Amino acid sequence: MLENFQKDYEVCNCKKVTIAEIEKAINTKAATSLRDIQDITGAGTECRHCIFVEGDFGKIKKKIYCKDILKEISEIKDKESVHG
């Protein structure tokens, strides 16, 4: 799914957090949970609509959420650790 988005896609409009910033939090700052992503980037700490689809009560729905990014990168890391 991530390959369908530009790295500068703004996941969190309130805090202006991009996919690249969330990826960096996961890959270089050891974020392993949504709470970690919130603490490191600030994403999802205001209106909270960008955390996961079930919490998106905005009029215009997000195309990708923090939870999706965390899940996809975690799955990639898991596969790499098993095969690498």
CATH topology for the 2-83 domain:
Arc Repressor Mutant, subunit A (1.10.10)
Torsion angles phi and psi, residue 10, rounded to 5: -85, 105
Give the domain ranges of the chain: 2-83
- pTM confidence score: 0.92
The predicted-structure confidence for 20-63, as pLDDT tens digits, reads as follows 999 999 999 999 999 999 999 999 999 999 999 999 998 889 99
Instruction: Select from 21, 49, 74, 15 the least CA-distant residue to 7.
Output: 21
Torsion angles phi and psi, residue 3, rounded to 5: -65, -15
The rounded distance, in Å, linking the Cα atoms of 2 and 22 is: 12
State the pairing for strand pair 10-12/17-18: antiparallel
Bridge partners, 17 (sequence order):
12
